[in-house]
Structure 1
Amino acid sequence: MTAIWFGLAAIALVGAIVLLYFDRLQRQRTGHVRQVWAKSQGYTYVSVEPALASTWRRGALAKLGYLSAVDVVSGNRKGEKFVLFDLEDAATLVAVRRQIGSDIDIDLRMKTAAPPKDHDLEMLGAIGDRVVFATNPDIARHAVDQRMVAFIESLPDTVQQLWSEGNWTLGMLHVGSVAKDWEMAIDAVLRLSGLLHVLPPVINSERGRDELPEPGRSHPVPEDDDYDGYDEDGDYEPERARPAADEDDEFNPVLGDNADGEGEEEPENWRPALKVVPDPRNRPRRNWPPADEDADWDEEQDGPPGPADGEPENPRDEEPEESWRKDQGRSAPPGGPFHPGFRPYQGPTPR
């Protein structure tokens, strides 16, 4: 008894292998025929496109969208782009791209076929042996005119179903159709696509699909209000604020009393370039040597108004007294407080 069951299992296995072999031969033969037809028409042929079927979701693809697209032919016919492919061994589909899409979708199918599962598709009416469904029957009724009626009545039986989806119009054929059926189906879908131009176009959103940034394209960098003029290595901290001078101090806080020669004597290796020295152009001119703070205070209060504090009485371009220049000692190096080769500090060097 065991040997009998073993023999039946072996026979079934051999039969399955034979069926798979013939199915593969049939698929190769069909693919070769379609490839030859595509080459003769000047179209492009691709053996497999796994993600192509996921582009659509209505019509036949509501049930068969999980299958891969095989024997794909793409090209242009009568100025319109189309795609012809098989959903493995389930169906043959034709898709034509419309130049102007619409938010209203239409479905034409045989009366013997099951109604669509899409909840937004409502029955518009029956024409001949076809039933028309639409997402907005009130507006879609304007597309069902005498031309549409004549088109539906002239459809061949090989075209089982037609529907529109966005800017695409699609049709479904039987598996095993020949080149004549493919051309007839493409022409039928092209004609339906032209009749659907009366539908209102897609409402443009604030940012259409064509405006989305492409991969690899550089994005515009928004302006940075805190940009400090350096590269993108990082924001550099601002310089520390210098302490404000006392109101009673007439002398510059950096130079101190060195201008009078009363400060400490600088060492021989004194390097002014390493010191933080303000820009002399921003310093107000003063009379040198400075006058005594308490001298003639009463006279200044009672006398006529003079120049403001810190402003020189002499003309702007008047040179200081020659005697004061002679009194300058080691504390005032040649060139004033700056070294001949001194360069003001410009901040950290950009990387």
Structure 2
Amino acid sequence: MTSTVYFLIALVALAGAGVLLWLDHQRRSVLRANREVWAQAQGFDYRESDTKLRRVFRRAAMDVPDHVEVLDVAFGEYDGAQAVVFDLTETATIVAVRRKAASQVIVDLRHEDVLAPAETDVDLLGAMGPRVMFSNNLEVARRVCDRRMIALANSAPRYVEIMWTEGKWVLGSMPLTNDSARLDAALDVVRRFADLLRVLPPSVDPQDAPDPRDPHGPTNAELADEKTENMRDKRRREAAEQAGEAATVAAPLPSAESGFNPFARDPQGPPVRGPQPAPRPPAPQQAGQNLPLSGQEPSGQGWRRPGPPPSQHYPEDES
């Protein structure tokens, strides 16, 4: 008898669980259908789930446990900017609008009834109407808080609890909803918030060290090594200078075309540069010395060796 009662109780519990699962599926189907209808009305595309958005957004309302899924994603272009609307399972509905440039300055504007940010890299700036602003750069955030920002903080719907920046995106968070009017209002206020944040300084990517071989890189020796083209031109100049010095040391002899006759008695032409060989000692005849012939006595006028008359066809040997 007892076992039968337990068996009946188990059947009832199982049936109840099945009914709850069916009701939840029906509710999700209705919500999914409503979100898809709203996406079509906005000209957005629809996707049942997404696994990448959890890696893109991590701050504020997106700081949730890993088991929380991203569902009912509607994405497209809104007022000239990319926009995404999605749900975090049993947590919140998120609206995100992409800015033109990323910024390292974080601005977190949330309702005063919402808990302060869990991140430790932001500080409290002050209150603007019913909302409070936090930032990691208070000096820049003060410049953002002009009259338009104060007007937005006062006019934004209460259900849009948090608005914050993250990279190139501005996001807004509100309780789970599929109401078309609330989705439209949240999308509009987040888009206006993104417009007011155009004054944020853009992020500056770190630059790699210049390649010394890059012909378009810096030429300052303090900033980069000597470039390849400069080294090549330097070697060419050195080679040209060496060639000029070699030409100076050993200049080429003038040719017959320049009017120089090597067989002339007194050759005319440009002087030969460079070191000249030591002069040979003059022949006895040129030095004024007369050599006596064999078997003859020297006289007062001296002796001269008889020889043939000078030739008219060959120059005299001046060596």
Measured in 1, the distance between the counterparts of 2:3 and 2:123 equals 59
1:80 aligns with 2:77: no
SS in 2 for 1:157: coil
CA contact (8 A) 1:71 1:85 kept: yes
Q: 1:7 to 1:114 in 2, by over 3 A?
A: farther
- Aligned partner of 1:306 in structure 2 is none
- Aligned partner of 1:175 in structure 2 is 176
Task: Spell out, residue by residue over 1:242-294, the C-alpha distance to the aligned partner (whole angstroms, 9 max, x if none).
Answer: xxxxxxxxxxxxxxxxxxxxxxxxxxxxxxxxxxxxxxxxxxxxxxxxxxxxx
Task: Spell out, residue by residue over 1:1-38, the C-alpha distance to the aligned partner (whole angstroms, 9 max, x if none).
Answer: 55555544443332222122111111111111111222
- Aligned partner of 1:203 in structure 2 is 204
Shift of the alpha carbon at 1:99? Answer: 0.2
Q: 1:198 to 1:65 in 2, by over 3 A?
A: farther
CA contact (8 A) 2:31 2:178 kept: no
CA contact (8 A) 1:54 1:66 kept: no
Amino acid in structure 1 at the alignment position of 2:81: E
CA contact (8 A) 2:93 2:175 kept: yes
Q: What TM-score comes out, normalization by structure 1 length?
A: 0.56
- Aligned partner of 1:37 in structure 2 is 38
Measured in 2, the distance between the counterparts of 1:5 and 1:172 equals 46
Percent identity between matched residues is: 37
Measured in 1, the distance between the counterparts of 2:106 and 2:6 equals 55
Measured in 1, the distance between the counterparts of 2:177 and 2:183 equals 10
Shift of the alpha carbon at 1:72? Answer: 0.8
SS in 2 for 1:63: coil
Amino acid in structure 2 at the alignment position of 1:24: H
Amino acid in structure 1 at the alignment position of 2:27: Q
Q: 1:12 to 1:96 in 2, by over 3 A?
A: same
Measured in 2, the distance between the counterparts of 1:14 and 1:174 equals 31
1:104-143 residue pairs with structure 2 within 5 A? 104-143=105-144
Measured in 2, the distance between the counterparts of 1:5 and 1:176 equals 41
SS in 1 for 2:157: coil
1:11 aligns with 2:42: no
Q: What TM-score comes out, normalization by structure 2 length?
A: 0.61
Shift of the alpha carbon at 1:54? Answer: 1.6
Measured in 2, the distance between the counterparts of 1:21 and 1:45 equals 23
Give unmatched runs, 5+ long, in structure 2. 209-319
1:184 aligns with 2:180: no
- Aligned partner of 2:152 in structure 1 is 151
CA contact (8 A) 1:59 1:116 kept: yes
Q: 1:76 to 1:12 in 2, by over 3 A?
A: same
Measured in 2, the distance between the counterparts of 1:140 and 1:13 equals 56
Measured in 2, the distance between the counterparts of 1:204 and 1:134 equals 21
- Aligned partner of 1:71 in structure 2 is 72
- Aligned partner of 2:267 in structure 1 is none
1:322-337 residue pairs with structure 2 within 5 A? none
CA contact (8 A) 1:72 1:84 kept: yes
SS in 2 for 1:26: helix
CA contact (8 A) 1:54 1:65 kept: no
- Aligned partner of 1:283 in structure 2 is none
CA contact (8 A) 1:73 1:85 kept: yes
Q: 1:95 to 1:66 in 2, by over 3 A?
A: farther
CA contact (8 A) 1:92 1:174 kept: yes
Amino acid in structure 2 at the alignment position of 1:71: D
Measured in 2, the distance between the counterparts of 1:185 and 1:168 equals 15
Amino acid in structure 2 at the alignment position of 1:46: R
Measured in 1, the distance between the counterparts of 2:154 and 2:59 equals 23
Shift of the alpha carbon at 1:140? Answer: 1.2
Measured in 2, the distance between the counterparts of 1:65 and 1:164 equals 21
Task: Spell out, residue by residue over 1:317-336, the C-alpha distance to the aligned partner (whole angstroms, 9 max, x if none).
Answer: xxxxxxxxxxxxxxxxxxxx
- Aligned partner of 1:101 in structure 2 is 102
CA contact (8 A) 2:111 2:158 kept: no
Shift of the alpha carbon at 1:198? Answer: 1.2
- Between 1:96-105 and 1:198-207, the stretch displaced more is 198-207
Measured in 1, the distance between the counterparts of 2:66 and 2:164 equals 15
Q: 1:65 to 1:195 in 2, by over 3 A?
A: farther
- Aligned partner of 1:298 in structure 2 is none
Measured in 2, the distance between the counterparts of 1:138 and 1:41 equals 38
Give unmatched runs, 5+ long, in structure 1. 208-351
Larger gyration radius, structure 1 or structure 2: 2
SS in 1 for 2:60: coil
CA contact (8 A) 2:102 2:168 kept: yes
